[in-house]
Structure 1
């Protein structure tokens, strides 16, 4: 696993959920319009579609 240093204001710990042909992570509505970065911290489930 690599190590990343990111300066920010808040962290949300969540799960990626399937949606249509992709996936999403929910964040608070107050983040609407903000720049965000998503960092994967575990390997995807082997039974997930890519």
Structure 2
């Protein structure tokens, strides 16, 4: 049985329009930045 992420990536590769793929990448990038920026800021404050 496929995992939910497997179904998601399969759909992105095979069954979605380009606009949906672009929106998905944009949302994923935003979520990564929302996590990475505070972590990097805390790391910089600790090192400084």
TM range (shorter): under 0.3
**Which TM-score applies when normalising by structure 1?**
0.20
TM-score, normalization: structure 2? 0.20
Higher strand share: 1
User: Which structure is higher in helix share?
Assistant: 2
Rg: which structure is higher?
2
